[in-house]
Amino acid sequence: MHSAARCGASFSDAHKPVQIQVNDNVECTWSIDRPSSETTRVIFSILELNPGADCSQENITIFNENYDVLGVLCPNSPRIDVYESPGTVYIQVSTDSAAFERTAYFLYYSVTPEIDIDCGGSLQGLSGTISSPNYPNRHPHFAFCLWHLEVPKNTKVKLSFSEIFIEVDPLCRFDFIALYDGPDTNAPILDILCGRTVAELETTSNTLTLLFSADYANSYYGFSLDYSAIPQSNNSSLSCSGESMTAILNPDYIQGLGYNANDLTLKDPSCVAQSANPIVFEVPFSGCGTVKKVEDHLIYYTNTIHGRPDAGVITRRNELQFIVTCELDSDSSAEIMYMTTDDVIHDQQESGKYDVNLAFYHTQDFDSPVLDSPYLVDLNDNVYLQASVKTQDPDLTVFVDTCYTSPESNFQAPNYDLVRNGCTKDDTYHNFPSGNGFARFSFSAFRFLNAHTSVYLQCRVVICDINDSGSRCNQGCITRQRRDLNSKGWKTHAVFGPIRLKPHSESEASGSISENKDEVVKTDQGTLYVVVISVLVVNVVIVALVLMKYYRKKPTGYTYLPVPTQ
């Protein structure tokens, strides 16, 4: 079934399974010789190296035909790994001096249009089904499928395989299903399945990656599974967005309390669950009986999921309530759920954030957003921005508390403030009237000295209720050093950019101004420009000589180029 090679070999077949078995103190290379016009796929399904060695002592290194490293397998690496590269692939095994038989098994083949099956993909949602190609008929040879699955936050994925019928092998070397507990194949392996069986599994997070791989022999019926989102706590979960709350209840848990999805409603009885497995309630901030409350400058949205006792003379079911609340706090939204059964309260609390967007606009009408990146402007051009939060609540307003700039996207020094703590720091900064869920402002374009051509912005945005007269949004400029923002509304940070100056000469257009290198910028300006620069240099020299008489020489830092108000 497989080819065993003790210490190196060369293969030219279009496909072949290879089992490597080596001992201590070896360095062997296997070459898979394929045309450069074809893509070679190598799939490792067994990896047993010396568990007491580290990667510098013992490893398997995979190279492409140019001897660039595609990857390195270490003693603690997952046993499943996949590599692809055009043409020839080299596999080099190096072992240490420990007396131990090492084993690795891999399948390689050329990926051609005839065997490149369209399967896998990215899936999002509360529930669904995944099955192998052609299911319930036989899966094709060389099937290779990768699914990425994501369910809502604060939940995890429950998998129920109704059938698995692929090639039987105790080690799952040939055909297998690999399940990764995370968003990609770098996540920990949850399980590896093969043969004829069924299975039920749960992830630890809200993402799952599923890899199905088959070789060229013994094609059977493949697999089928149902997946669903269940709460992380196994009972219930709550998440908040800018428009609604999503409450998810485990149907097994609700059934254990004597209820099912059809017995539950929101405070408005016409608002029922959108899904029964899992039980999901999308709770809007406006509607379905949701109550908004402003207290101590905090904003709360609250609703209740009811499970009523039976109608009639008697009941043997407890009255059930899930009280769900989104609280707009300082740096995030607090997501709180209380479950009561006959006035016994249980609570859960999670955290999350609302979506805040910062966008450039072409004019002060704010009707045409800038879609280009970077946004090219001239020095002293007016730059218009809108900060907005995605919400359906008409009573929320936005306030730009702080907005500062940097020539680098990591916002390390130098920085320049446009507005700080609501106080204008730049002469050209201008606020426009705010509205439902947005704030607007502008400033004149500038650049940092020292040959930087880009400007990035980071703004702190505060969201308040328009009816709260004491909120941060109504306080404006605060000059005192210590401020209590935590009790004034909800704030978040938005980063945007870059703004970049347009090139205006041949040398600028060719990239003579560099953001990342300390280069001297040479431009062919007119005689007047040269005279002005010469005068400026002379003045700088005179000032420098005077200062040097009285002060020690100090290193020169970044400065800001002032721009006169238009």
Q: What is the pLDDT of residue 12?
A: 94
Q: What gap in Å lies between CA 178 and CA 480, rounded to an integer?
A: 58
* pLDDT (tens digit per residue) in 109-150: 999 988 888 899 999 988 899 999 999 999 999 999 999 999
The gap between the terminal CA atoms of the chain, to the nearest Å, is: 80
Q: What gap in Å lies between CA 486 and CA 481, rounded to an integer?
A: 15
Given a cut of 80, is residue 390 above it in pLDDT?
A: no
Please tell me which residue, 204 or 3, carries the higher pLDDT value.
204
Q: What gap in Å lies between CA 425 and CA 446, rounded to an integer?
A: 14
Domain boundaries, the chain: 3-111, 124-231, 237-352, 356-501
518: Cβ–Cβ under 8 A, 6 or more apart, which residues? 450, 451
Q: What is the pLDDT of residue 328?
A: 63
Please tell me which residue, 347 or 366, carries the higher pLDDT value.
366
Going through 207-270 in order, the beta strands assigned E by DSSP cover 207-213, 222-231, 236-240, 244-249, 264-265
Least confident of 169-173, 246-250, 455-459, 551-555: 551-555
CATH homologous superfamily for the domain 237-352: Zona pellucida, ZP-N domain (2.60.40.3210)
Q: What gap in Å lies between CA 384 and CA 353, rounded to an integer?
A: 25
DSSP, collapsed to helix, strand or coil, labels residue 525 as: coil
Where does 398-437 have alpha helices with state H? none
* CATH C-level class of 356-501: mainly beta
* pLDDT (tens digit per residue) in 373-382: 667 888 888 8
b/e sequence 38-59, b meaning 16+ C-beta within 10 Å: eebbbbbbebebbeebebebbb
DSSP, collapsed to helix, strand or coil, labels residue 555 as: coil
Q: What gap in Å lies between CA 366 and CA 384, rounded to an integer?
A: 8
Q: The tokens of 520 are what?
A: 């001297």
Given a cut of 70, is residue 463 above it in pLDDT?
A: yes
Of 362, 399, 366, give the one whose Cα is nearest residue 383. 362
Least confident of 49-58, 194-203, 232-241: 232-241
Phi and psi angles of residue 75, each rounded to the nearest 5 degrees, phi first: -55, -30
Please tell me which residue, 198 or 548, carries the higher pLDDT value.
198
Q: What is the pLDDT of residue 438?
A: 87
Domains 3-111 and 124-231 share a fold: yes
304: Cβ–Cβ under 8 A, 6 or more apart, which residues? 266, 267, 289, 321, 322, 323, 324
Q: What is the pLDDT of residue 275?
A: 87
Confidence category of residue 194, pLDDT binned at 50, 70, 90: very high
Q: What gap in Å lies between CA 20 and CA 157, rounded to an integer?
A: 36
Q: What is the pLDDT of residue 342?
A: 46
Which fold, 3-111? Jelly Rolls (2.60.120)
Max CA separation in the chain (angstroms): 101
Number of Cβ within 10 Å of residue 182's Cβ equals 18
Q: What is the pLDDT of residue 504?
A: 53
Please tell me which residue, 291 or 557, carries the higher pLDDT value.
291
The pLDDT > 70 percentage for the chain reads: 73
Overall pTM surpassing 0.85 (yes/no): no
Please tell me which residue, 390 or 318, carries the higher pLDDT value.
390
How far from chain centre, in Å, is Cα 174? 34
Q: What is the pLDDT of residue 465?
A: 79
Q: What gap in Å lies between CA 181 and CA 160, rounded to an integer?
A: 15
Q: What is the pLDDT of residue 547?
A: 39
Per the DSSP assignment, residues forming a β-bridge with 179 are 191, 210
The pLDDT > 90 percentage for the chain reads: 41
| Complete DSSP assignment for 117-132 | ----EEEESSEEEEE-
Phi and psi angles of residue 310, each rounded to the nearest 5 degrees, phi first: -60, 145
The answer to whether 71 touches 83, Cβ cutoff 8 Å, is yes
* pLDDT (tens digit per residue) in 15-41: 999 999 999 999 999 999 999 999 999
Phi and psi angles of residue 541, each rounded to the nearest 5 degrees, phi first: -65, -40
Q: What is the pLDDT of residue 399?
A: 86
Establish how many alpha carbons lie within 13 A of residue 533's alpha carbon, considering only the half-sphere containing its beta carbon: 9
Rg (CA), the chain: 32
Domain 124-231 has CATH 2.40.30.10: no
Q: What gap in Å lies between CA 243 and CA 5, rounded to an integer?
A: 61
